[in-house]
A and B are shown apart, each in its own frame.
Chain A
Amino acid sequence: MIKETAEILFGRWDFFLPLIYEHLEISAAAIIIATAAGLFLGVLISQYKILSPYVLGATNIIYTIPSIALFGFLIPFTGVGNLTAVAALTLYALLPMIRNTYTGIANIPPAVTEAAEGMGSGKIQLLFRIKLPLAMPVIISGLRNMAVMTVALAGIASFIGAGGLGVAIYRGITTNNAAMTLAGSVLIALMAFTADLLLGAAEKAIKKKKYLPLKIASAAAVFLFAALFFTAGDRDGVIKIASKPMTEQFIISEMLKMLIEENTGLKAEITKGIGGGTGNIHPAMLKGEFDMYPEYTGTAWKFVLKHSDNPPDEMMIKTIKEEYEDKFGFRWVSLYGFNNRFGLGVRKELAEKYGLKTYSDLAPYSPGLVFGAEYDFFERDDGYSALSSYYGYNFKSTADMDIGLKYSAVNSGKVDVINLFTTDAMIPVSDIRILEDDRNFFENYHIGTVVRKDTLEKHPELLKALELMDGLISDEEMAAMNYAVEAEKKSDRETAAEFLISKGLLKEAP
């Protein structure tokens, strides 16, 4: 594991470097804003003590909100992406800054401030020449805690589509690549450690009253961050692609980017693995934060359009396309061909022995078979019990198991039938047959590109590039690509490029 992590770290600097940069940018923005606002509020409540219970109480409450929930609350206001990340991190960082500023000022011996006042210091002079410098050690130790916390917490920001090293962690989790997760974590820990070290040195300098090097260092830091922000650059005119936190969405979004850049001269930028998937991407699309993303018909039908019936494919797709245009101003451009739906898989030797091809074929043999699925499938309304009563199954027993273990359990004969997603990475290397849902129990999850209409109007050349995806990928091909990324640890970009080259849509890997 350590060796793999080191290999990823040293082998994929081109991947990590921009993430480190972005992580620094997000954390630095939050730290700087929180420092300024925290100092201001801390000074305010130490001058007007009547305000202190309210300000400290409010920030305390914010501090206790779990980070994921806070990100969730902020999305309606600040959207998906770096802005929300900076806002949430700033809110968390406020408390230590305000509290330490307040405490630092409150702990100054009254004789000292009184002497300064008695000698004729004005309010501002008292604050800047006496109170703040004397409170500085306490303020800096608050800043130090806050900076470490912010750098670490910024790792979670990728769950809501922000950049930074959390992207690596989340990518590792969603593509079953533990070394990648570890590499991202190690880098975050290193950054937090460095921040702690630098601020620790500053704290020491203040205690030893070496103010000059400290002034030089802080001027240099301010200059560096300013440079960082001004080089952040202009991202208008770039096509923004979103993707859900799933391996196949990562691969598909890479393909979309390559096809757009190969065929239109436009630039595209992918935000990978937005936590909450459609629940957060759809509102962001409405706001224009993203131009397009790959979506499944089943999700659009049930989750976005809130239909509860399950009509035949043709009708469902037609309705989805119409309603998306009317309600949201989005267009569905092309369906890629594969269908990532729930399915049932049976060990191949059993399927051959009993001649099982469809879900209905399974019913008479079910009393002799063991059914395995992840815990979630037994809980959901449209899961195990609904399926059993719909097809008349009566399995001998059932087993809860982790998604990652289902395939080995069916291969080794521990269970006989499993539920699955029809593009699961393990399908190509497992000894199973996927049965046909002959009476249409599960919704179909055809996948296509949802694009904002105004983006298509602004860049009419996009349409042709996106239509190249139409009918391009079969279930088996998608499962094989998922396997390449999840099991063989190929990068999603490389996998996408190889596939497009094999289909003649790309001359060489970009």
Chain B
Amino acid sequence: MSEAIVKFENVSKSYGNRLIVKNLRFSIKKGEFVTVMGRSGSGKTTVLKMINGLIKADSGGIYVYGQDISKCALVPLRRRIGYAVQETALFPHMDAYRNIAYVPHISGWKERDVKARVEELADLMNLPASVLKRYPDELSGGEKQRVGIARALAARPDMMLMDEPFGALDGETRNAVQDELLKIWRRYGTTIFFITHDENEALKLGSRIMEMDKGALKERTERHDG
């Protein structure tokens, strides 16, 4: 558990003259579940999107799986990183099955393998077969989140980037999907970078808890174990 999967070296990013990320240095080791808190506008999402190259850094170096992402091809890199965002952003024109199958499809998997993988994930995320045939606007909030997580996991990524994926859920459902996520993390050892507003969520899920403030990521040292 010592290999750094993500490494930021003196990374800065500003919008106009507003400095959002200032000389950021940090790294994520393989298998860590990093939860990140911080006020809105503090730059959490910017950091997350810099990891998969959706946002480019102004200066500094970002290395993912040991590759400098300003130099390597982003499309194959992104396919190795699961991505789940607020409100899930499911594709409205695809049913749940095809949403989950999206990355395997664009990566050119055989249909037989895709089907087996979707069924495996549906089982894992407690999604019955009838739900797989529904379109996003026919799913409940909890079902949408489960589909969103299943979609992010579909191509067996080594790492997942999750930006407040459970923000819109009520307490009970939220608890249930949190437990499912923890189960997956424990079973597969997937590295997770997870942004949340909710301190309880950050403490419950994270193996390492950080806070974004004034352009820097700081370790939260105190832990509330049990």
Q: Within the assembled complex, what's the spacing in Å between the Cα atoms of A130 and B98?
A: 12
Instruction: Name the one of B75, B85, B105 contacting A122, with C-beta atoms under 8 angstroms.
Output: B75
Asked if B65 is at the interface of the complex by the 8 Å CB criterion, the answer is no
B92 touches A112 (CB 8 A): yes
Q: Which residues does chain A contribute within 8 Å of B89, judged by CB atoms?
A: 109, 111-112, 114-115
Asked if B93 is at the interface of the complex by the 8 Å CB criterion, the answer is yes
Q: Which residues does chain A contribute within 8 Å of B87, judged by CB atoms?
A: 111
What is the CB-to-nearest-CB distance from A453 to chain B, in angstroms, rounded to a whole number?
62
Asked if B135 is at the interface of the complex by the 8 Å CB criterion, the answer is yes
Asked if B128 is at the interface of the complex by the 8 Å CB criterion, the answer is no
Instruction: Name the one of B78, B86, B95, B135 contacting A118, with C-beta atoms under 8 angstroms.
Output: B78
What is the CB-to-nearest-CB distance from A115 to chain B, in angstroms, rounded to a whole number?
4
What is the CB-to-nearest-CB distance from B80 to chain A, in angstroms, rounded to a whole number?
8
Chain B 74-105 interface mask (CB, 8 Å, partner A; 1/0): 11111111110111010111010000001101
Q: Which 5 A-B pairs have the closest CB atoms?
A: A120-B78, A120-B79, A115-B89, A118-B83, A111-B89
B91 touches A118 (CB 8 A): no
Q: A119 with B102: in contact, given A111-B85, A114-B54, A209-B135 (CB under 8 Å)?
A: yes
* Contacts A109-B89, A115-B89 known; 5 new A-B pairs at CB < 8 A: A118-B78, A118-B85, A119-B102, A122-B106, A134-B93
Chain B residue, CB-CB nearest to A133: B93
What is the CB-to-nearest-CB distance from A127 to chain B, in angstroms, rounded to a whole number?
12
Q: Which residues does chain A contribute within 8 Å of B151, judged by CB atoms?
A: 119
What is the CB-to-nearest-CB distance from B72 to chain A, in angstroms, rounded to a whole number?
13
Chain A residue, CB-CB nearest to B82: A119
Q: Which residues does chain B contribute within 8 Å of A320, judged by CB atoms?
A: none
Chain A residue, CB-CB nearest to B77: A120
Asked if B52 is at the interface of the complex by the 8 Å CB criterion, the answer is yes
Chain A 454-466 interface mask (CB, 8 Å, partner B; 1/0): 0000000000000
What is the CB-to-nearest-CB distance from B111 to chain A, in angstroms, rounded to a whole number?
15
Instruction: Name the one of B49, B54, B106 contacting A125, with C-beta atoms under 8 angstroms.
Output: B106
A115 touches B83 (CB 8 A): yes
Instruction: Name the one of B79, B86, B92, B93 contacting A119, with C-beta atoms under 8 angstroms.
Output: B79
Chain A 151-178 interface mask (CB, 8 Å, partner B; 1/0): 0000000000000000000000000000
Asked if A129 is at the interface of the complex by the 8 Å CB criterion, the answer is yes
Q: Within the assembled complex, what's the spacing in Å between the Cα atoms of A118 and B152?
A: 10
How many A-B pairs have beta carbons closer than 8 Å: the answer is 64
Chain A 81-123 interface mask (CB, 8 Å, partner B; 1/0): 0000000000000000000000000000101101111111110
Q: A119 with B85: in contact, given A112-B91, A114-B54, A209-B93 (CB under 8 Å)?
A: no
What is the CB-to-nearest-CB distance from B124 to chain A, in angstroms, rounded to a whole number?
19
Chain B residue, CB-CB nearest to A124: B106
Q: Which residues does chain B contribute within 8 Å of A109, judged by CB atoms?
A: 89
Asked if B10 is at the interface of the complex by the 8 Å CB criterion, the answer is no
Q: Which residues does chain B contribute within 8 Å of A119, judged by CB atoms?
A: 78-79, 82-83, 102-103, 106, 151-152
Q: Which residues does chain A contribute within 8 Å of B86, judged by CB atoms?
A: 111
A134 touches B92 (CB 8 A): yes
What is the CB-to-nearest-CB distance from A470 to chain B, in angstroms, rounded to a whole number?
71
Q: Which residues does chain B contribute within 8 Å of A115, judged by CB atoms?
A: 83, 85, 89, 91
Q: Which residues does chain B contribute within 8 Å of A134, judged by CB atoms?
A: 91-93
Q: Within the assembled complex, what's the spacing in Å between the Cα atoms of A244 and B87?
A: 67
Q: Which residues does chain A contribute within 8 Å of B59, judged by CB atoms?
A: none
What is the CB-to-nearest-CB distance from A121 to chain B, in angstroms, rounded to a whole number?
6
Chain B residue, CB-CB nearest to A136: B93
What is the CB-to-nearest-CB distance from B85 to chain A, in angstroms, rounded to a whole number?
6
What is the CB-to-nearest-CB distance from B44 to chain A, in angstroms, rounded to a whole number?
15
Q: A117 with B103: in contact, given A111-B85, A134-B93, A209-B135 (CB under 8 Å)?
A: no
Q: Which residues does chain B contribute within 8 Å of A209, judged by CB atoms?
A: 93, 95, 135
Q: A130 with B91: in contact, given A122-B106, A125-B106 (CB under 8 Å)?
A: yes
Q: Which residues does chain A contribute within 8 Å of B74, judged by CB atoms?
A: 120
